[in-house]
Amino acid sequence: MPENNNEIPDIVIGRLPLYLRALQYMVLEEQMVTSSKELAERLGISAAQIRKDLSQFGEFGKQGTGYQVEFLIKKLRQILNVDTIWDVIIIGAGDIGHGIARYPNFGAQGFRVVAVFDNNPNKIGTKIGDFSVQDSAVMPAIIKQSNIKIAMIAVPASQAQLVVDDLIQAGIKAILNYAPITINVPKGIQIQYIDPVMHLQKMTYYLK
Amino acid sequence: MPENNNEIPDIVIGRLPLYLRALQYMVLEEQMVTSSKELAERLGISAAQIRKDLSQFGEFGKQGTGYQVEFLIKKLRQILNVDTIWDVIIIGAGDIGHGIARYPNFGAQGFRVVAVFDNNPNKIGTKIGDFSVQDSAVMPAIIKQSNIKIAMIAVPASQAQLVVDDLIQAGIKAILNYAPITINVPKGIQIQYIDPVMHLQKMTYYLK
């Protein structure tokens, strides 16, 4: 869980990307105005919660007239710091590494994959889309040289902590970890986990 | 967000798999007893929150002596309904589908991938580990025949809603969706999302 140094709870921040995604679909559908009620129906979050979350950042809608979709998207992108493009690297060129390297939605959402690394000689030099897999040995130099702050790791669980330690040492500040293991990071470093087991176990609770 | 039909908040249920995973690492490290304080340090969740969450399900630890690791694992697995093995199917045999089909941790966590489906003739019949990719056309029959309740979908966003509709029609009750799109499901159907963008955007908030 990321540290939160201001007054807005981490859980609120975690919902903003969901709102942003729902609003972006409305743009595709050429919808100009929405309401907390409509967002609530799309997302399964209560309208009161959505209004409360958004009101923490400003006055984005009007009672009775709702939210201007494009305006709210712009504001959410500013709040989440994705009104810019972040360079992201991937470590691990296995199936998941391939999948995220080819993921089509990063560009529109504020991210650009700029390099893929692996320490397996059989993978170094192979192509993933437009990328040649690079040797992990050059990773720290590239992170520093290009001032990269974000990494996604898709390496075996046994290697994940060592990779993260190297990444942080080189200057990475935010890590999305696909390896099924909890990683220790110092204060001030963001880490998020993607683990299908966590999601499946949450759902089986409800499958009695 | 899943519906919650009893008094325990959904957010609490979502933390139980994290506790379970941390406890399972303690077993690997041959640790017999733990405390809410130690779990708190490992997980970045407050000790008070962990005690409060666990106390909703019973009296699992004693003041001063902490929690018996194996006992708490057993209880959490019962609560989450993963003291059994759930059959799971995968729809979509692309990179992500391959990655999750080969994911090594399902077995120990209550899940077993039993089939992979795709509608692309070039993929049908190809091998992923021990599986042959099957034609999506036979999917409904197999779901019904084997009474499968859980599916993971890794198909293009444009196909995801149609695939989910088919799955629910055939009897699936819980869906883990890797496609970058919000899906509509009827009440009583669980759906969870895995989207790297959501996690990255949450972290960039803190990268000022």
- Give the residue-averaged pLDDT of B184-204: 94
Task: Classify residue A78 by its DSSP letter.
Answer: H
**Residue ranges making up the domain that contains B181:** 86-198
What confidence tens digit (pLDDT) does each residue in B115-146 have? 999 999 999 999 998 889 999 999 999 999 99
Co-location of B53 and B99 in the same domain? no
Which range of B51-60, B101-110, B168-177 scores highest in mean pLDDT? It is B168-177
**What pLDDT was estimated at residue B207?**
94
**What pLDDT was estimated at residue B80?**
97
B176·A200 Cβ contact <8 A: yes
pLDDT at B2 over 50: no
Tell me if A23 sits within 8 A of A74, measured CB to CB: no
**What pLDDT was estimated at residue B6?**
56
CB pairs under 8 A between A and B: 205
Residue of A nearest to B79 (CA): A205
A205·B42 Cβ contact <8 A: no
**What pLDDT was estimated at residue B52?**
93
**What pLDDT was estimated at residue A64?**
74
Written as six digits, the tokens of A125 are 């030099």
Task: Classify residue B180 by its DSSP letter.
Answer: S
Residue of B nearest to A174 (CA): B203
Co-location of B105 and B128 in the same domain? yes
What's the sign of the alpha-carbon dihedral B129, B134, B140, B146? Answer: negative
Q: How far is CA A89 from CA A95, A139, B127, B200, in A?
A: 16, 9, 29, 12
Tell me if B17 sits within 8 A of B45, measured CB to CB: no
Co-location of B152 and B63 in the same domain? no
Q: Is residue A204 part of a domain?
A: no
Co-location of A104 and A120 in the same domain? yes
Task: Write the CATH number for A145.
Answer: 3.40.50.720
Least CB–CB distance from B207: residue in A44, A79, A173: A173
Residue of A nearest to B181 (CA): A21
Count of domains forming chain B: 2
Q: Is residue A191 part of a domain?
A: yes
Co-location of A172 and A95 in the same domain? yes
**What pLDDT was estimated at residue A60?**
85
Co-location of A101 and A190 in the same domain? yes
Co-location of A184 and A157 in the same domain? yes
Mutate to test the interface with A, among B91, B202, B207, B208 (most CBs of A within 10 A): B202
A202·B182 Cβ contact <8 A: no
ipTM: 0.92
Mean pLDDT by 10 residues, chain A (208 residues): 61 92 91 93 86 90 85 96 96 95 90 97 94 96 98 95 98 96 90 94 93
- Distance between CA atoms of residues B120 and B134, nearest Å: 10
Which residues have CB under 8 Å from A19's CB, separation 6+?
A: A39, A43, A50, A53, A54, A72, A76
pTM: 0.87
Co-location of A32 and A124 in the same domain? no
- Distance between CA atoms of residues B164 and B143, nearest Å: 13
Residues of B in contact with A194 (CB under 8 A): 194, 196, 199
Instruction: Give residue B4's pLDDT band: very low, low, confident or very high (50, 70, 90).
Output: very low
Mutate to test the interface with A, among B23, B57, B95, B98 (most CBs of A within 10 A): B95
pLDDT at B200 over 80: yes
- Distance between CA atoms of residues B204 and B57, nearest Å: 35
3-state secondary structure of B68: strand
Q: Is residue A208 part of a domain?
A: no
Co-location of B160 and B91 in the same domain? yes
pLDDT at B111 over 80: yes
Q: How many CA atoms lie within 13 A of A164 on its CB side?
A: 27
Q: B33, B49, B79: which is the final residue of a domain?
A: B79
- Distance between CA atoms of residues A52 and A79, nearest Å: 15
Q: How far is CA B159 from CA A182, B60, B119, B122, in A?
A: 33, 45, 11, 17
Alpha helices (H) along A34-119: 36-43, 47-55, 69-79, 95-101, 106-109
Q: Is residue B43 part of a domain?
A: yes
Burial annotation B101-125 (CB, 10 A radius, 16+ → b, else e): bbbebbeebbbebebbbbbeeebbe
- Distance between CA atoms of residues B70 and B76, nearest Å: 10
Q: Is residue B208 part of a domain?
A: no
- Distance between CA atoms of residues A68 and A65, nearest Å: 9
B156/chain A closest Cα distance in angstroms:
10
Q: How many CB atoms lie within 10 A of CB A104?
A: 9
Which range of A19-33, B7-21, B42-56, B163-177 scores highest in mean pLDDT? It is B163-177
Co-location of B190 and B99 in the same domain? yes
3-state secondary structure of B205: coil
Q: A25, A46, A79: which is the final residue of a domain?
A: A79
Co-location of A72 and A140 in the same domain? no
Residue of A nearest to B19 (CA): A198
pLDDT at B63 over 90: no
Residues of A in contact with B81 (CB under 8 A): 204-205, 207-208
- Give the residue-averaged pLDDT of B73-101: 96
Co-location of B74 and B128 in the same domain? no
Instruction: Give residue B39's pLDDT band: very low, low, confident or very high (50, 70, 90).
Output: very high
Q: Is residue B204 part of a domain?
A: no
Least CB–CB distance from B81: residue in A80, A194, A207: A207
Written as six digits, the tokens of A150 are 């974000």
pLDDT at B86 over 60: yes
Task: Write the CATH number for B16.
Answer: 1.10.10.10
Tokens 């970045």 map to which residue? B44
Phi, psi of B35 (to 5 degrees): -135, 165
Q: Is residue A162 part of a domain?
A: yes
Q: Is residue A121 part of a domain?
A: yes
Least confident range from A92-101, B39-48, B75-84, B104-113: namely: B39-48
Residue of B nearest to A190 (CA): B203
A207·B181 Cβ contact <8 A: no
| Mean pLDDT for all residues in chain B | 92
In Å, how far from its chain's centre is CA B181?
Answer: 18
